């Protein structure tokens, strides 16, 4: 009863979001990106956020039919005003536009402003990799993280993602938050009644905590990865996605004033595609054939373990915790949907 397979997963998300007031095209994009996250084991960006999205649609923080528009449209640069629309939809439009520009002008760079949470960054950069391009994306977020030496939220845990295409292999996908972990991991831990490791977060008083509620929903702050390094990266990503994009930044970021950057680099315009692929394989071969530490059987490339998990979940489905299933069941019934139809 608690296993969802891909098609029914996406149908559940689309039905809930459209019943909640979101347009069909926005709901379909959200279902695709959320499904990508849960299939890859990035559960902090999947179904666990469905209730939050519905609440934000009801509050009109996310607009059901946004009047989004292009504020700037140059040959290889554009700025999209998302008009408080669903982030997954705006992110997909933006990366598709970056890819289109890169096909003609080598590099496509698109900024997005005034929109909402877009989910897993790797989804968007993988779109570029599927076109034989290197993809890059960052977004700022509602303040979640204290700077190094600070005791309150002032920056988002602004993620960074790159995807590198490979020939006849899954792309290399780096998708990291600039905090030690994403906020959603604290939500997942709380939903499972688990503690979190010390070093992930501080409580509202600036003290270390192992309580996921105290570290996030209870007013605490996430901590930057690698101390000042993560803090510095988060700040620079905020300059790109917030300041330069014309969106909110720092403590001025709200749930509908988030900004993104999407970039695609057309490898074939810089060197022959086959030469690039051969050089990538040479590099990854060096890495994976290097001497292993004691107890290590294999050195994985960024994103490789997530593809392993995806293959398993495509075959066997995505399993929900009892708490998440109960939440989805309640949410669906509140919107007039029979949740059982999705779990058959």
Q: What residues are labeled active site?
A: 117
Residue with tokens 């020939």: 167
| Contact criterion met (CB below 8 Å) for 163 and 189 | no
Q: Largest Cα–Cα distance in the chain? A: 57
Q: Give the integer Cα–Cα distance in Å for 131 and 128.
A: 5
Q: For residue 224, give every residue at least 6 positions away whose Cβ sits within 8 Å of its Cβ, in sequence order, or none.
A: 145, 146, 147, 148, 157, 178, 179, 180, 230, 231, 234
DSSP state of 44: G
Q: Which residues pair with 172 in a beta bridge?
A: 164
- What is the number of residues in the chain? 344
Rounded distance between C-alpha atoms, residue 68 and residue 232, angstroms:
31
> How far is 37 from 124, CA to CA, in rounded Å?
11
Task: Give residues with Cβ within 8 angstroms of 319, minimum separation 6.
Answer: 2, 3, 4
At 131 the three-state DSSP class reads coil
Identify the residue whose tokens are 């702050």. 221
């Amino acid at each position: 009863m608690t296993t969802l397979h891909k098609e029914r997963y996406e149908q559940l998300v689309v039905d809930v979001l459209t019943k909640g007031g979101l347009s069909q095209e926005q709901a379909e994009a959200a279902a695709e990106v959320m499904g990508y996250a849960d299939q890859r084991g990035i559960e902090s960006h999947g179904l666990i956020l469905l209730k939050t999205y519905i609440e934000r649609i009801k509050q009109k923080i996310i607009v059901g039919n946004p009047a989004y528009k292009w504020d700037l449209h140059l040959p290889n640069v554009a700025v999209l005003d998302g008009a408080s629309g669903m982030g997954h939809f705006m992110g997909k439009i933006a990366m598709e536009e970056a890819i289109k520009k890169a096909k003609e002008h080598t590099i496509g760079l698109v900024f997005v402003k005034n929109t909402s949470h877009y989910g897993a960054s790797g989804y968007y950069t993988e779109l570029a990799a599927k076109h034989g391009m290197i993809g890059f994306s960052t977004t700022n977020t509602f303040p979640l993280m204290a700077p190094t030496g600070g005791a309150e939220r002032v920056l988002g845990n602004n993620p960074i993602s790159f995807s590198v295409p490979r020939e006849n292999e899954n792309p290399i996908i780096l998708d990291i938050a600039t905090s030690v972990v994403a906020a959603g991991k604290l939500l997942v831990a709380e939903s499972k009644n688990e503690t979190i490791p010390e070093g992930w977060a501080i409580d509202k008083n600036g003290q270390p905590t192992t309580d996921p509620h105290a570290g996030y929903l209870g007013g605490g702050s996430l901590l930057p990865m690698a101390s000042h390094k993560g803090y510095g990266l988060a700040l620079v990503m905020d300059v790109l996605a917030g300041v330069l994009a014309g969106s909110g930044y720092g403590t001025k970021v709200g749930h509908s004033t988030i900004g993104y950057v999407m970039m695609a680099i057309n490898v074939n315009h810089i060197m022959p595609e086959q030469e690039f692929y051969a050089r990538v394989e040479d590099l990854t071969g060096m890495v994976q054939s290097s001497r292993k530490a004691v107890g290590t059987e294999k050195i994985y490339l960024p994103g490789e373990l997530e593809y392993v998990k995806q293959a398993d979940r495509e075959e066997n489905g995505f399993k929900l915790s009892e708490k998440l299933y109960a939440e989805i069941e309640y949410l669906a019934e509140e919107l007039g949907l029979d949740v059982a139809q999705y779990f058959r």
